[in-house]
Structure formats: structure tokens, C-alpha cells
Structure 1
Amino acid sequence: MNDRQQIGAPAAITAERPAYTLWQLVTYMLRLGTFGFGGPVALAGYMHRDLVERRQWITDADYKEGLALAQLAPGPLAAQLAIYLGYVHYRILGATLAGLAFVLPSFLMVVALGWAYVRFGGLTWMQSVFYGVGAAVIGIIAISAHKLTTKSVGKDKLLWAIYLVLAAVTVITESEIAWLFLAAGIVVWFWRVPPKWLRHGSLGVVAATQIPTAGSVASTLDWPLLTQIAVFFAKAGAFVFGSGLAIVPFLYGGVVTDFHWLSEKQFVDAVAVAMITPGPVVITVGFIGYLVAGLPGASVAALATFLPCYLFTVIPAPYFKKYGKLPAILAFVDGVTAAAVGAITGAVIVLARRSIIDIPTLVLALATVVLLLKFRKLPEPVIVAGAALIGLLVYPLLRH
């Protein structure tokens, strides 16, 4: 792409020639979507490790901007980060292809699992697999969180305070509170680069980010089922903040309680499918859609969920790039990033409490950390596959 300044886009978004081709980035996202286990925490860490540290395709500043925007906007964090990183050098085309490449592999996997689930009446081996994989994934994401912490927070005392507060809040509430990310950005902005009205002690009005609101869309039994699916999952994608796991309570309320599309057991199985497959956790919507209305239901549910997060990323991206180098914006991004990494670290603890339930799972998690520290080039999929096999062998023995 020799001429990267798009018509109508701010002039400041032009960049130097990238050190990679669009096809290389798409191939990477396909591979990450196929083999990237661990949910948003691990996936964000993998992108930083691979694209910033190892390949140096993306600058640390661009990565931090993408992470901040992904945290501020509703929708699945990892998918939005992938979309933004695709936008950095290849704009709309890069964002679109990177997002599709990241989501498509896991979508195909959950559709295949949905077919098997319907055909064979449930997947009883899921608990065994997740018993092993869940513990190994904790080790993987713990290392990712540690690297993000040392890279993003550094030795800044204010950022450490924000980081620790967000980690504690996430552990206590087991959720990510969107307004705290905004508050963290504003605190660092005001501390490092106080606005003139604040320095002079005069009154002023602070412009706050407005979350788009929309009237609730009533569902009636006269509407076609696919329309109901589209409306519900579009709301899930547009109005749920935080990591992929944050969408689970919202989905439960609609899928099980309101629409009665799935039983409680089917919904738990759907979440388990998302956890044992690579890629974004939110891809569970594909499995749910398949159980409700087959392949059309899976396609509509996935498209309706991911389209809002795509738009919430590419529309503000040029302006985020244009003004991202201003001192006030840099301070704001640092604050949001520290908050995001704190929340990610807290999520590791929350997930660990659910996945590490006995001595074997504790040993698996610790062994994963040791293996990854000792053999830095050991592929995570190898560890996950080994953990799945151990789960299949050990779990039935412990439950009998």
C-alpha cells in the first residue's frame, strides 16, 4: 500500500511503510484464531508478544492505543484489539480482514461442535477436557498478564495504584466496570497534563465520552426467529463492556430466562465450548445460535455480535490516531491501559478460582508456568493438547 492516506481521513494517520504485508498479518490472525487459547487475557498478551516484541510489526504506542480503545468501547476486547491492529497500517481493509481472520476459525469450530452436540445428544467429554485445559490456560494467561504489567505499568506509582485498584475491584466483583477505565484515564490526564481551566482554578466543563444509547427493541412471538436472534445478539455486542466472560450473564438472561431458547445445562455446555476452543470467548454466540436455529442462527448470532464491535473500533480509529500523540491523550491512554491491565490481572485470579479446584489442577497450572518459562519457544497449543489428554484420563478417575 504505497499511498496510505485515505480520502477524507485525517492527515495525521499516515504512517511509515509497514515492515509486513497485509497477507502476513491476516495469516498471523488466522493462526492466532486457530491456536490461541485462554480468552481475552491471553490473546491480548499473545498479540503484544508476537506483533510488538518479536516481530516488531506494531509499535508499543499503537498497541497501547488499541488496548485502550478496546477497553473503552463495548464488545469483545480481543476481537477489537485485532481489528485495531489491522487498521494501524492497512486501514479499513486491514481492520476488516484481520477481524475476519481472527474470528472465523473459532466460529467454524463451534459450529462443528454444535452439529455434533445436536446429533449425538450432548458432549459428555467436555467436563474432562476443560478440567485439564482450564488449569493449563491459567498458567498461560498468568504469564501474559505478568508481561503486560511490567511493560505497561513500569515503575510509575500512580499507574501502579490504578492497576492495583482495578485488579482488586475485578477480583471482588468478578466483573469489569467500564466507568473505572474512563476515570483512570482522566486521573492520569489531570495529574500529568492539567487542563488550563484546572490550573487557573476556573470552572469548566469536561467533555465525557458518551456511550450511544438506544431504546430497547421489543420482541414478539410474531417476529421471525432469526430477527429475534439478530436483535438480541446485536444488543449483546453493542452494550456489554469488558472481556468475553462479561457477556455471559447478559446471554444467560436472554437465552435461558427470557427467550427459553436453551436449558440451563445447554447454556453451561455452550460456555464450556467457548472455553475449550481457541479464539475469542464470545464465539459461544455461534454455538448458541446453532442450537437455536442451525447454521443460519449461528451465522446471524455471530455477525450481530461482532458487527457493533467492528464499527466501534474503525469509526473512532482515525481520530484516535490523529490526536493520540497529544500529551493529554497520551496520559489518558496510559491511565486506561494501567486500568485495563489491572482488570486483566484480576480476571486471572477470578478464572483461577474457578479452574484450579484440586491438587491435580494446581499441579497442571504450575507445570504450565514452569514449562513456558524454561522453554520459551514451546507452542501453547502443545501444552493445551497435553492438558486436554490429562483431563480426559484423570477427571473420570477422580469422579468415580
Structure 2
Amino acid sequence: MSLPPFAEALRVWARIGCLSFGGPAAQIALMHREVVEERRWVGEARFLHALNFCMLLPGPEAMQLATYLGWLMHGVKGGVAAGLLFILPGALVMLALSFLYAALGQVPVMAALFLGLKCAVLVLVVEALLRVARRALKGALPWVVAAAAFAALFVLAVPFPLVVLGAALLGWALPAAFAPSGHKGGTGGSESALDAALAAEPGRIAALAGAARRAGLAALALWLWPVALLMGSGGCLADVALFFSQMAVVTFGGAYAVLAYVAQEAVGRYGWLSAPEMLAGLGLAETTPGPLILVLQFVGFLAGWREGGAWGALAGAGMTLWVTFLPCFAWIFLGAPYVERLHGHAKLAGALAAVTAAVVGVIANLALWFALRVLFAEVPGLLPAWHTLRWDALALSVLAGVLLFGLRLGVVRTLGLTALAGLALSLLGAAP
């Protein structure tokens, strides 16, 4: 079994980028289905090893995972292509919706479709949670770690990096309890194309490392260059470049981990947008493909719009994307070669496997957070205001569950049919 041609991989990465709705949980599940289960390009354990590393990095883990896997299969060009194709579809959709929002103050044509999409996304996240749990929770201690991670995040509001660090330290101390598996077995225990390539070419990782190091340093230089040029110049674009560069190194755990801080600074300190506009941007990001961190593009867009109109908005959105995602390429290209060389390290493997167990709790926390805000109009604290249950959202979520789990229609048809059902409810006057 051989690695796919680069052109074939491009088509698959583009497909993943266009279908990557639902935040990191659903995106990682989609990627797993495409490259592990259906095509057997990557083995199960190597996929999880890469995912564990990406969970330890700042930035969107699903985008970084695509970059990592693309690099493993086709070197730097594969990593760049996989990462860019994961970002671009959502960025273009977000740009179009941002223009509509800024020009009209709302997106009325999309509102009903968005309700159906949100409900379908909720079910996709639940499916992703089940998938990751089945792979990661082998034995009693991983279950305990997953439950503790969920409680720490949902009940105690412990910062995400501390949850990951605690799990990693436990796995390092007790590697045997997490029993990470070998690299073989994408589906049915059969060898993956990447495993076969690495077995046939033991020096492959070392051969890829030099170019990856140069690419990582180039990404760092490209990231910091415009920030340095704008420093001291004043104006909105300089503030956007510096602020979101800072966010790029502290966004552990994805967008939700930093949204409160971003909203506080963007609304209260800089005045780039209002609190309702921030929530609208999050709603747009949740229902477009690509990483949820694209909500930052919406913030940068409105910041530029208010200072320089359409051209200022394009500059603000472009600068936000530049300083948000270039560091992600740097982290992967600089770190992945070293992580790949440590596959045989028992304590590191135990630490990363423990992180995977904690990720189950993280995804469960995100799934519950998302479910409460989709199904209820008011969530004043940990629990919702039960009388604000949205029966239309509940009905659409049940429909999405039947389509995905019962009829097994797949991601695209489930999203499309549930969105159309939301539109139908709106036309009948059952949805706002």
C-alpha cells in the first residue's frame, strides 16, 4: 500500500476544509473518517499521537493536525496545502458573511438556515465525542481522567492548559495505565499507507526534518515581519496585528478558551465592536466550515470597517488571519519532526495518551456548552433556564440525530437536510 499522489491528497484536504463544520470535535472526527477509516492513509495510533501533540500547542488543533498529517505524507508542501485548505473555505465564507453583517446589520436570509445548521452541528459534536471516547478510553484510569477533565472545566472553570498539563504529568508518571497502542491499524488492524512508507524508508522523518525546520523559521519570520513594521505606527491595523499576535501564543484549547478575554479587550478596551456583535460573530463562526477561531477574523474585519470602510475591513481581516495562523505552521514544522522521533518513548507515549483521555472530557464540556446554548434561549449559569427551552431547536436536533445515527446519511446530507428543515420551520412560523 503506497501513499496517495499529492493531487489526490489535495482533493481530500479540500473536501475536509469545505465540510469541517462543528468545531474541533466534529472536524477531528471528519478527518479521522477520511484519512484513517476510509482511505487508511494514516494509522490509528499515529493519528492520535499527532492529535495529542497538537492539543498541547496554542491555536486550532484541527488545523494543526491537518498540517501535521499533510507534512508526514508529502513534506512541507503537503503540510502547507493541508493547513491552508483547512482554513480558506471558512475564511472566504466568513469574509462574505462579515460584509453582509457590516452592510446590513444582520444576516436575515441566513437566520433560519443557521438554526438548522447549529442543531446538526450539535449532533456532529456528540458523534465526535463518542468516536474519540471509543478510541481513547481503554481502562479505568483514562475514564477517571476524562471525567476529572470534564468536571474541572465545566464545574470548576479550571484553565484548559492546567487540565492538559495535569493529564500529561499523570500519564508520564503512570504510562502503563494508559497503554498506548502501536502504529498499525487504521481500520480492521490493517497497516496504513504511512506506516508502510515509514517501514520501507526508516530515514523518512530525518529526511523531512531539515525542510520542516527551514519552513518553521520562515513562518516565524513572515508572522513577525508585518507586526514589527507596524509597531509604533498607531492606528487600528497596528493594534490588530499586535493584539492577535499575542492571542496566537495563548490560545490553548481553541477559541472557547480565549473568547471571554478577546471579547473583553475588543469590546471594552479597543471598541472595535459591541458585545452583541461579538456574539453574532461567534454564531457565524460556529456555522461556517473551518476552525472556530475564525471568529477573530470577524473582529478584525469590523475593527477595520469602522476605521477605513471596506478596504480597511479587508486589511483588518487579512492581518488577523495572517498573525493568527502563520504561528500555527511554525509550531508544527518546528515541533513535529522531534515528536515523531519519540514514538518509542514509553513515558512520552503515556503522557500523550493521558492527554487524549483528558480531551474526551474537554470535548464533552464543549458539547454540553454548545448544547445548552443551542437548545435554550437563556443560560444564566451552569444550568439553563428550563422554561426557555427552544422546541424548534430540540426538534431539529432530534431530526439530525435520526439522519446521522439512524439513517446514516453522512455529514453533508445531514447538514443540508437539517438546514432546510430549519428554513421550513421558519416559513411555517415555528422558528424566530
TM-score by length of 2: 0.77
Q: 2:234 — aligned with what?
A: 223
Give the 5 Å matches for 1:1-400. Answer: 18-154=2-138, 156-173=139-156, 177-192=160-175, 223-293=234-304, 294-357=313-376, 358-376=390-408, 378-395=409-426, 397-398=429-430
Partner Cα distance (1:147, 1:24) in 2? 26
Partner Cα distance (2:260, 2:398) in 1? 30
| Aligned CA-pair RMSD | 2.4
Structure 2, unpaired ranges of 5+: 178-227, 305-312, 377-389
1:130–1:275 contact (8 Å) kept in structure 2: no
Alignment CA distance shift 1:97-1:125 (3 Å): same
1:174–1:347 contact (8 Å) kept in structure 2: no
Aligned to 2:155, the other structure's residue is in SS state helix
Alignment: residue pair count:
359
1:73–1:241 contact (8 Å) kept in structure 2: yes
Range 248-257 or range 140-149, more displaced:
248-257
Partner Cα distance (1:366, 1:100) in 2? 34
1:134–1:355 contact (8 Å) kept in structure 2: yes
Aligned to 1:260, the other structure's residue is in SS state coil
Alignment CA distance shift 1:173-1:78 (3 Å): farther
* Distance apart, 1:325 and its partner CA: 2.1
Which one-letter code corresponds to 1:365 in the other structure? S
Partner Cα distance (1:75, 1:137) in 2? 21
Which one-letter code corresponds to 1:265 in the other structure? P
* Distance apart, 1:27 and its partner CA: 1.9
Range 89-98 or range 381-390, more displaced:
381-390
Partner Cα distance (1:30, 1:351) in 2? 26
Structure 1, unpaired ranges of 5+: 1-16, 195-216
Partner Cα distance (1:389, 1:41) in 2? 24
Which one-letter code corresponds to 1:248 in the other structure? L
TM-score by length of 1: 0.83
2:400–2:418 contact (8 Å) kept in structure 1: no
Partner Cα distance (2:21, 2:355) in 1? 25
* Distance apart, 1:192 and its partner CA: 3.1
What do the CA deviations read for 1:92-123 (whole angstroms, capped 9, x no partner)?
A: 22211110011011111111112222233322
Q: 1:208 — aligned with what?
A: none
* Distance apart, 1:398 and its partner CA: 4.3
